[in-house]
Structure 1
Amino acid sequence: MSREFFEHGMNRLLETVQPGVLCAFDFDGTIAPLVDDPSTARIPPPLLRRLAALAEFAPVAVITGRSVEDISLNLDFFPHFLIGNHGIEGLSGEELHEERYRSNCRQWMQKLRSAMIRAHCEPAIWIEDKVYSLAIHYRMVEDPLAAQRRLVDLVRRTTPDARVISGKCVLNLLPADAPDKGIALNELISMIKAPAAIYVGDDVADETVFKLPRDRLLTIRVEEAQQTAAEFHLQDISAMDSFLDMLLERLKTVISADAAPASPAHR
């Protein structure tokens, strides 16, 4: 179980932040509020300004379950790294597997559509085709918990070869051997030789990051949850403004100290 960040996490922030620290974020529910229509999700202007400022002082990554094409329409700022489809898009080498992933998803889509018709699923349940993964959304149904139970059973019977990751009123279907967010973050850390990393997410799909070793990684979940491997949590997305202010202040301090010339006694 995580601890509240502003009460217990300040020392960890001070330890983690150093020049070159990788700052990575999920999108929906983390830097953009959850909405009924995913196409309308946007980063609030105050948070957007802070993220743009952060990108001037540290490498910034957005690691999302959305496709790169989709998320590019919603960001309104330019992170250094944009990783889509839970890690399938944006990592070097994954393009070698894209056609197989695409073929898998086409087959799953056909099977699931037929199975959902036979099961008389509610019209409010719909499948998002992200080319390399699928997402079954059920946010608008009358009884989301009952819908989730039915859908999990349907998916397991219809597409047993898919890796299923639950989310907030969504089931994500990925190829079993495809990378996840944890793999994606590790790849980015290695690629840029980051001395440390910070990751903020809000959902089950982010647990693959939260479960990584903590020696050089600070993990924060938006909203408290009983079952999470995140080290700390924020009360809700509105706390992101204060968190980014603290992160920016610390970054500016350590970068200034790192750039300052040594005193004569230490030359």
Structure 2
Amino acid sequence: MNDLLNCSTEDTSGLTPIEIALGIDNDGMTTARKLHEFLGMDKSNFSRWAKTNIEENEFYDEDKDWRGFVIMTNGNECRDYKLTTDFAKHLSMSSHSAKGKIARDYFVSVEDGAKKMILQFQDMSPQLQYMIRVEQEQKRQAQELAEVKELAQNSADRVESIREVVALDTTSWREDTRNLINKIAQELGGGQAFQQVRAESYDLLEKRMGVSLKQRLTNKRRRMADEGICKSKRDKLSLVDIIADDKKLIEGYTAIVKEMTIRYGVA
């Protein structure tokens, strides 16, 4: 259990030792792969472990306690999961690994400490108990006020995000759609997520508009070659450029990115 108590010397913003060990972020979330690594389990069994303990877990719900997303590992698409703090703690305690035993011992020690504090409180004088209750109430009120302020700020941020989505039009669509896709990617963990979200937007556009962007890209490069345009310029041509050639595709693409922004909870 000392591994948990000494797991970090960094500023942890009020996180408990077990939360630090589980890699809980500022949003109160961690990932299944971080948890799986913490528990010291066989990496080759991750998919089966995740299916049994996360996807088929009858006590915890998708989009409330966990949600899946895709990451790139060694050039391959792999599935990972965002987990709430409570769900991650539950999984750590239910694990039969050595680290799972450490986690269970930790929570038992926390409960024992809480019981000890209760007994100490009961032995105090009524006056001292009253003073402690007053201080606790002040802290509770301060916490509630902080939560209200945070909620107000989150609401303001959400309103601003919605404004960005609503303001997305066909004049500055290139930059605007890129910014929104980047926000979605950051929500999914950053890194390779941007390319994955961008690819999803293209796929949705092709299905909705009944076109092949790649085929159009190939055709345009051939026409440019016939016109004697150098290869370096032809190679720089992208699917976004193909969308830019067709007003209907621009309208369809901006609509799709708006929908994705809302679906991923960014707006």
User: What's the TM-score, normalizing by structure 1?
Assistant: 0.25
TM normalised by structure 2 equals 0.25
Higher strand share: 1
- Structure ranking higher on relative contact order (CA contacts 8 Å, 6+ apart): 1
Q: Which of the two has greater helix per residue?
A: 2
